[in-house]
Amino acid sequence: MAHKDSPKIGETKTEMLHPMHVPKDELQGNEQRPSLDKILEDLLDFEKLKYCNGCGICTGICPIAKILPEYYNPRILLHSLPLGDEKILKSPQLWLCAWCYRCYRRCPQKLNLPEIFQVVRRYAVESGYSEGFIKALEIISKNIPLPISCSYVCFHPERVIKNQQIVADAIQQAILTSSPEKSKEQPFAKSTKNVAIIGSGPAGMSAAHDLAKKGYSVTVFEALPSAGGMLRRCIPKYRLPKKLVDFDIMRIKDLGVEIKTSTPIDGTQKVKKLLEEGYDAIFVATGAQEDQNFTIQGAELNGVFHALDFLEKANTKNVELLNTVSIIGGGNVAIDSARTALKLGAKDVTILYRRSKEEIPASPWEIKEAKDKGIKIDFLVSPKKILGENGKVTKIECVKMELGEQDATGRRRPIPIQGSEFMMPTDSVIMAIGQSPNTVFLPKTVELTTQKTIVTDPFTLETSSPNIFAGGDAVLGTGTLIEAILAGKQAAFSIDHHLRGIPLDPVDIAENAFGRENNGT
């Protein structure tokens, strides 16, 4: 049965949204529509595609292909498009790309699959083929933990179907018809084993979801008053209304998962105590929730914010911003901060990034949307100091940069150009220069990297300390929601085998679609 306190997502629809219920006048222009062949010709460099050697990198590193291998294979989908088959336009595969851009960044030919699929999605909907969207939602609802949050943050149907109510109704109906009490899937026999999960973000809650369905008693420990981690704390409300996070969390609680909020595990002895208290395994899923230190003169002035604190305050209380806001950084958190600043009333928002357009780590589509909203991005610019009067920010001194030799990240190192300093008036500065995990609470037996991320076995996610597993941003550094969900599912799979005494090897992991890149070694 559903939890009596389960939140409602607006007005519940009693009928599934039929594909043809998407009114054509709510879609992007469908007059004088070019043929699919013409769209594909414009989209695909056929000479480039012709020489594709089928390396499979796009599929091999795709989180969705790992979670849903029976439904999604980006390489096969890409090679099916030139056939112009109507079945492709009806396929849910078109709607299952999660916009992480891992395929694009690793593709030897730089084929931009997310945006190729996006244009074909648009053509499908404009042509009246919206059933793929509905089928994709059903697949997401039944197979991915936190399906509502994931639908909004990862899959982005609103980028084609501009009527937000249509999107909301379709997502809501898909989730309601696949809620835990309606599922025909029978859980494993109830286990006597207990699992503790530290952190209630997407990795932790995904692991809790899968372990509970396997019959384990699962307790999640969360330091904050509410569960959800970065979903609640820092993803802006315009991207993910917080009542939707409540609904996703409640669906997992309805599986029998206990969530202890306001219960920090903040000392090394507390982790050991969990094992002594009878927990048979621990999964550390604390994410990367601390802003990296950035030493700059003037950081103490009023009007200077760290990005995560700024986003958290914007989600929970009023934040006063004046006319001009400068963002330091180039990742997705910088983009979120910039767009949130606009929504809070800033008139002029500029992102300062020290490398070139080619090196910026933010999602290309997020950058495009930010620019469409009027946000400026100054490339090859780095701040030197923040200046102010009477304790308040008034300007920022910057220096122009040029790119030198490659550094350890594989990107060209930014080098200051002597004598290129200039002043930039600003009322507020938001520092979005990266996040790092808090690992000080872990026992010394848990090995860490020099970046303070947790070292794990790349296949099983077990740490150097017996019975302690870790995954998500605490291991890999900041990533996307779907990558965190994948890590949680991988951890649940490994913990289940570990507690049942079934050895795991890389083949077992690969066959169960939970392989994952791991830089925590």
Residue ranges of the domains in the chain?
19-180, 188-289+437-511, 294-434
101: region left, alpha or beta (phi > 0 left; psi from -120 to 50 alpha): left
With b meaning 16 or more CB within 10 Å and e meaning fewer, what string describes 168-178? bbbbbbbbbeb
Rounded Cα distance, 345 and 339, in Å: 10
| Residue 158: other Cβ atoms inside 10 A | 15
- Does residue 8 have a pLDDT over 80? no
Q: pLDDT confidence of 517, banded at 50, 70, 90?
A: very low
Rg of the chain, C-alpha, whole Å: 23
Are domains 188-289+437-511 and 294-434 of this chain identical in fold? Answer: yes
Identify the H or E element spanning 481: helix 481-499
Under 8 Å between Cβ of 225 and 261: yes
* Predicted local confidence at residue 164, as pLDDT: 85
Q: Is 3.50.50.60 the CATH classification of the domain at 188-289+437-511?
A: yes
Q: Report the b/e string of 224-244 with b at 16+ CB within 10 A.
A: bebbbbbbbbbbeeeebbbeb
Lowest mean pLDDT, pick from 172-186, 366-380, 486-500: 172-186
Number of H helices, E strands in the chain: 21, 16
More confident residue, 186 or 311: 311
The stretch 278-283 carries a mean pLDDT of: 96
The one-letter amino acid code at 356 reads S
Name, in order, each residue with C-beta under 8 angstroms of 32's C-beta and a sequence gap of 6 or more.
none
Fold of the 19-180 domain? Fumarate Reductase Iron-sulfur Protein; Chain B, domain 2 (1.10.1060)
Report pLDDT for 185: 52
Q: Rounded to an integer, what distance in angstroms lies between the CA atom of residue 419 and that of residue 413? A: 19
Tokens of 360: 């910026």
**Distances in Å between the alpha carbon of 25 and those of 31, 168, 487?**
10, 18, 40
Q: Is the pLDDT of residue 17 over 50?
A: no
Greater model confidence, 270 or 188: 270
First and final CA of the chain: distance in angstroms?
A: 43
What are the beta bridge partners of residue 470? 284
Q: What is the mean pLDDT of residues 321-346?
A: 92
CA 466 distance to own-chain centroid:
29
CA distance readout (Å), 490 to 130, 196, 462, 501: 32, 16, 11, 17
Query: Do 124 and 90 contact (CB within 8 A), yes or no?
Result: yes
pTM across the whole model: 0.87
pLDDT at 66 over 90: yes
Per-residue model confidence as pLDDT tens digits over 311-322 = 998 887 777 777
Q: Spell out the alpha helix ranges (H) of 144-267.
A: 147-150, 164-176, 202-213, 230-233, 242-253
* Dist. CA 33–CA 357, nearest whole Å: 32
Average pLDDT over every residue of 441-467? 92
User: Helix/strand/coil (H, E, C) string of 151-167?
Assistant: HHHHHCHHHCECCHHHH
Rounded-to-integer distance, Cα 216 and Cα 207, Å: 11
Residue-wise pLDDT for 216-274, tens only, equals 999 999 999 999 999 998 899 889 999 999 999 999 999 999 999 999 998 778 888 99
Question: Which of 7-21, 49-63, 104-118, 364-378 has the largest mean confidence?
Answer: 364-378
Token pair, residue 486, equals 């994948």
Q: Which two tokens stand for residue 98?
A: 């999660």
What pLDDT, on a 0 to 100 scale, did the predictor assign at position 253?
95
Write down the CATH superfamily of domain 294-434: FAD/NAD(P)-binding domain (3.50.50.60)
232 beta partners: none
Instruction: Give CA–CA dist 325/303, Å, rounded.
Output: 9
Whether 233 and 223 have beta carbons less than 8 Å apart is answered as no
pLDDT at position 19:
37
Residue scoring higher pLDDT (409 or 450)? 450
Per-residue pLDDT tens for 390-446?
A: 999 999 999 999 999 888 777 789 999 999 999 999 999 999 988 888 888 999 999
- In degrees rounded to 5, what are phi and psi of residue 368? -60, -45
The pLDDT value recorded for residue 187 is 53
**How far is residue 359's CA from residue 366's CA, in Å, rounded to a whole number?**
15
Q: Sorting pLDDT into bands at 50, 70 and 90, what band is 464?
A: very high
